[in-house]
Amino acid sequence: MKLAKISLAALVALGAFSTLNATPLEEAIKDVDFSGFARYRYTGNKLNVNDKKETKANHNFRFVGTFKAALDDNFFGVLGLRYAASDGSGYNNDFTNTTSSFGVREFYLGYKAGNTTVTAGKQFAGTYFEGDLVATGLRVQNTDVSGLTLVGVAFDALETDKIDYDGKLLSGVAGSRTLNYYGLGAMGSYDPVNFKAWWAYLEDTANLFAADVALKFDFDAVKLGLQGQYVHNESKDDDNYGDANFFATKGNVGFFGVNLNAGYIHYKAKENKLSFVTVEDNGKLINPAKLLNSVMNGSAQYYNNIKDKNDYWFIGAAYKFDKFGLFANYIDGKGYSWARKKRIDRDEWNIGGNYAYSKKLNFSTFYAATKEKDGDYKNKHDRIRFEAKYSF
């Protein structure tokens, strides 16, 4: 939104500043955009490992605000602030966190000339292999060719903190080597085909290659879609990581607010070594689960921390009507369990919904239940979440 309104007091101050030949306040802020969100989450977890039960819950508060200011000529600056705090729930020693402070999440300078944008500083890496990884360095994006976006990145510092980083990879790599990260990407949209091709290099660790192709057909009342993804990890650190491959496919059909989907996921780390096919979170890869291939077993199950052979099939359904949305998914297969240290049976089902009170205020919730089974061994993880989010 534009910060173009000022109060009467500000107008008085503006007159005083003008007499001193200073930049008028209204002039200074008229080209500043402010966007972001405020979010509250309640998350409750129930863990049960061979009848040893544990309950954990917390209230999470998060605020993200981003200022974007037009500077001289084609230059612009971005400052992103973040507040994140969690309060425990259901424990004898719970307390309200009032000491967590704001942090700077984005701080960079940009230059736009024609269809080319160059940004330098602390920013989102924005490649195929992360969810929302923040990195420090250079990013170049070009859209000269209609329907095609080209991206190049070079970063010499990556975030590894537990507030925003999901997974185990970078915390394990940090300290033993430099976190230099480079990438090139091409993304195209030519109806009915959308594609992405990416290469990324985590210095002294691995090269990642990805291809993603999606077909979409719209027959008025019926919509059809088919997507395929492939990622290859070519390890440069044979002592700690091995090569790996990821493949997933998903098909969906939509009609009268209903969407049905089904698919298959396969990934494997070679030579019984640790490997990865994303750098942070699960990147842009298909994963319909809420827990199974992510936060289960102490957040060890993300695609950036894989081992052995993993195969899953899934089905899902969603329905949207007016301001409401509902969904349900089921995932089943066999994969490596970091709790059991071997390949075992694993599955999850999840259901949820959302209510869009307005364009800015949204309420959502889900319940997920996942389990691993190996003979008499059972590892269960249930999670319930409620979220209220206001975007501006």
Q: What percent of the chain shows pLDDT beyond 70?
A: 90
d(CA 346, CA 293): 10
Does 95 reside within a domain? no
Does 270 reside within a domain? yes
Cβ partners under 8 Å of residue 314, min gap 6: 262, 263, 264, 265, 288, 289, 329, 330, 331, 332
Largest CA distance in the chain: 82
Q: Comparing C-alpha atoms, which of 280, 267, 106 is closest to residue 181?
A: 280
Q: Which domain holds residue 268?
A: 115-391
251, containing H or E segment: strand 244-255
Higher confidence at residue 131 or residue 19? 131
Does 44 reside within a domain? no
d(CA 347, CA 222): 31
Mean pLDDT of 159-179: 81
Answer yes or no: is pLDDT of 320 > 80.
yes
Q: pTM, whole model, 2 decimals?
A: 0.89
d(CA 140, CA 114): 13
The tally of CA atoms less than 13 A away on the side-chain side of residue 271 is: 12
Mean pLDDT of 154-168: 88
Q: Please report the pLDDT score of residue 351 as a whole number.
A: 99
pLDDT tens digits, 123-133: 999 999 999 99
Mean pLDDT of 355-360: 98
Does 168 reside within a domain? yes
- Considering the chain, what is the average pLDDT of its residues? 91
Higher confidence at residue 98 or residue 144? 144
Does 267 reside within a domain? yes
Amino acid at 337: S
Q: Which of 10-24, 82-96, 241-255, 275-289 has the lowest mean pLDDT?
A: 10-24
Pairing state between β 342-356 and 148-158: unpaired
205 CA to centre of own chain? 22
Domain count, the chain: 1
d(CA 129, CA 132): 10
Answer yes or no: is pLDDT of 230 > 70.
yes
Does 251 reside within a domain? yes
d(CA 260, CA 224): 10
Q: Please report the pLDDT score of residue 344 as a whole number.
A: 96
Answer yes or no: is pLDDT of 232 > 70.
yes
Q: Please report the pLDDT score of residue 229 as a whole number.
A: 99
Mean pLDDT of 222-243: 94
Answer yes or no: is pLDDT of 16 > 50.
no
Q: Comparing C-alpha atoms, which of 77, 139, 79, 70 is closest to residue 103?
A: 79
The domain spanning residue 188 has which CATH number?
2.40.160.10
Question: Is the dihedral angle over the CA atoms 161, 290, 281, 184 positive or is it negative?
Answer: negative
Answer yes or no: is pLDDT of 8 > 60.
no
Q: Please report the pLDDT score of residue 94 as a whole number.
A: 66
Helix, strand, or coil (residue 29): helix
- Reported confidence tier of residue 162, pLDDT bands at 50, 70, 90: confident
Does 48 reside within a domain? no
d(CA 134, CA 343): 33
d(CA 215, CA 59): 40
Q: Is the omega angle on the peptide bond into residue 288 within 30 degrees of 0, that is, cis?
A: no
Does 326 reside within a domain? yes
